[in-house]
Structure 1
Amino acid sequence: MKKSIVLFFAIILLVHSYESVLAREAANISKISDMKQAMDEQGIIVKKWSLYTKGSVGFTSNLKGYRQKAALLKNAAKGYKWNTMNMQEHLKITGVRISQAGSIKERLTLVGYPQKGKLATYLVYAVEGKGWNKNQFQHFARSFQSRVATYFEGKTSTFSCITGVHSGTMDVGLYKQALELMTTFSAVPVEELKEETFVSISAYTKHWDEKINTAHKAMNLQIAIRNQGMGGQTAVTIGTPIITSEY
C-alpha cells in the first residue's frame, strides 16, 4: 500500500515537472515571436533566429555511466546524425538533424568532464532557423517544448535570439533605432555601448520573467545594431536574456 502511494505521488511530480517545462518553453518560443513582431514594425527583414537551451544532466561515476546517458539521449532523439569526440579532459558527442525544408538545424551536444572524482555532464540543445517562414516556425514550436522536456532531466536555461537587416536608408540614427526597439518591449536601459557604426543596449523588461544580474542591475534583453558601411545594410540583433550569436 505504501509503495503504491509513493508511486502515485512520484507520477504526479513527474507530470507536474513535465507540464512546467512545457509552459516555460512555450514562453521562450513566444519571445521569438515578440522579437519578430518588433522587427516587422521597424521594417527589418529577419534573416535568422535561434534558441539555445543548456542544462545539467547530473553526475556519473565513470565512462560507462556517461555512455549510458549518451545511449538514452540517442534513443530519445530520433533522426540525428551523431559524432563522438574524446578530448583530453572531457567527453563529447554531438548529434545534428536538419529539417526536410533545410531551413531549421537542430544540434544536441552532451559533454562530460571530471569533477570531484566523478563525471559531471551537461547537455546543450541549439536550434538555428534561416529566414522566417511562419508555418514552419509554428510547426517547430509545437515540438520544441516537448523535446526540451524529453531531453533534459532538470532545470534549464534558454536563450532566444533573432537577427535581421534593414536594407533601406534608416530614417534615424543607430542609437535612436535601438531605443525605439527597446521601447517596443517596454524595457528600461541598464547598460549601453555607442560607437559610430555600432550600438548595443542591455535592458530590462517586466514582460519576461527570466533575467540575469550584471554588475549594475538585472537585465533580460539585448539589442545590437551595426551599420555595414556606405550603401550597405544595417544588421539588427535582438536577444534574451543576452545575445548568444555574433553580430
Structure 2
Amino acid sequence: MKLGKSFFLVVLVFGLVIVHFFANSLGGHSFVAAANELVTLAEDKKWDIHEWQILAREEQGLITNQESFRQHVHMMSIDLDDWNVTDVDDSAQEWKATLTNQNPIMDVQESLTIFAYPENGQYRLAHTYKLQGSSLHTLASQQLEPLVNKRIDSFSLDQSAIYTQLKTSEDQSYLEHHESLSHFATELLESLDAKQVEALEEESFVSFSAYLENWEQAISTNGEEMNLQLAIRQEQGLGSRTTVTIGTPIITTEY
C-alpha cells in the first residue's frame, strides 16, 4: 500500500507542475461541464457526497523579504475585510498565510492561501484559491461559476487551470455488484464515457487516469492526453468503507 500512495503523491506533484505549465493553452476557465457531469454521476449512483472542491493556483510576482510578504498578506486582508486570517507562518524557509471565508448563503467555505518560496535570492509569491462544499445542489448551482470567476479575477489567477473534484465514502454496498475494485472503476469510467489512459491496481486501492473529449482542460502523460483521475480505496476491518475520489484534470488531495 505504501508504494501506491507514494507513487500517486509523485504523480500529483508532477501533474500540478504540468497543468500549470500548459495553463495558457487549456482554453479558458470553464469548469461547468465537468462539474455537471460529476453531479449527474453522483446522483445516478445515489452517492452521499463527503466533499467537493474547486481549486485554482497561480504564481505571482517576486518579493525581496519577509516584510514584503507580510505587507502583501496585510493588503489582501484589507481587500478581503470580511475574511479571517487563520494561519500565518513565516518562521521557516517557505512562508504561508491563509485567509478563510464562510459563505452561509451558498453553504460553502472559501480559502486563499498565499505562499512565498525562495527563488534566486528573492521569494516567489503564489496564490491558491479553494472553494469547498458538500451539497451537490450547490456544485450544480448557476451561482457557482460567477463566484469562481470573481475570485479568479480578484486573486490574479487568470492563467490558472481549474481543478474540480468530489469525494464520497460509503459502506461496502458499493461493491455488492462488482467482482473487484477495478471492475467498479471501469464501470464509472464507462458512465462518464471516458477513455482509460493509465491504471495502478492493488488489492484494496486502484487509481485510473482517463480522457473525456468534451472537457476543456487536459494534460499530457506518456504522450497521451488525460483530464480525469479516479481513485477508489477499500478500507479493511470493522466498519470497512469504500472511498471514491474523482478529479479533473487531476486529483489535488491525498487519497
Distance 1:89 1:172, change over 3 A: same
- Equivalent in the alignment of 2:225: 218
> What is the aligned counterpart of 2:241 among 233, 236, 243?
233
Question: What is the alpha-carbon distance in structure 1 between the residues aligned to residue 189 and residue 253 of structure 2?
Answer: 19
- My pick for the range that moved more, 84-93 or 49-58, is 84-93
Question: What is the alpha-carbon distance in structure 1 between the residues aligned to residue 106 and residue 218 of structure 2?
Answer: 33
RMSD (CA atoms): 2.7
- The residue type equivalent to 2:190 in the other structure is T
Aligned partner of residue 210 in structure 1, secondary structure: coil
Structure 1 unaligned residues grouped into runs of 5+: 1-19
Aligned partner of residue 50 in structure 2, secondary structure: strand
* Paired residues of 1:76 and 1:151 also in contact (CA < 8 A): no
* Paired residues of 1:56 and 1:154 also in contact (CA < 8 A): no
Instruction: Note the alpha carbon deviations across 1:184-208, whole angstroms, 9 max, x for none.
Output: 3322111112222222111112112
Distance 1:122 1:134, change over 3 A: closer
* Paired residues of 2:226 and 2:249 also in contact (CA < 8 A): yes
- Equivalent in the alignment of 1:3: none
- Equivalent in the alignment of 1:126: 130
Structure 2 unaligned residues grouped into runs of 5+: 1-23
- TM-score normalised by length of structure 2: 0.76
Instruction: Note the alpha carbon deviations across 1:200-230, whole angstroms, 9 max, x for none.
Output: 1111121122222223522110111222347
- Equivalent in the alignment of 1:13: none
Question: What is the alpha-carbon distance in structure 2 between the residues aligned to residue 77 and residue 30 of structure 1?
Answer: 29
Q: Does 1:92 align with 2:119?
A: no
- The residue type equivalent to 1:179 in the other structure is T
Distance 1:154 1:57, change over 3 A: farther
- CA apart distance, 1:162: 0.3
Distance 1:136 1:220, change over 3 A: closer
Q: Does 1:37 align with 2:14?
A: no
* Paired residues of 1:90 and 1:112 also in contact (CA < 8 A): yes
- CA apart distance, 1:62: 4.1
Distance 1:232 1:143, change over 3 A: same
- CA apart distance, 1:87: 2.4
- TM-score normalised by length of structure 1: 0.78
Q: Percent identity, aligned pairs only?
A: 25
- CA apart distance, 1:175: 1.5
Question: What is the alpha-carbon distance in structure 1 between the residues aligned to residue 202 and residue 97 of structure 2?
Answer: 40
Relative contact order, CA 8 A, sep 6+: which one is greater? 2
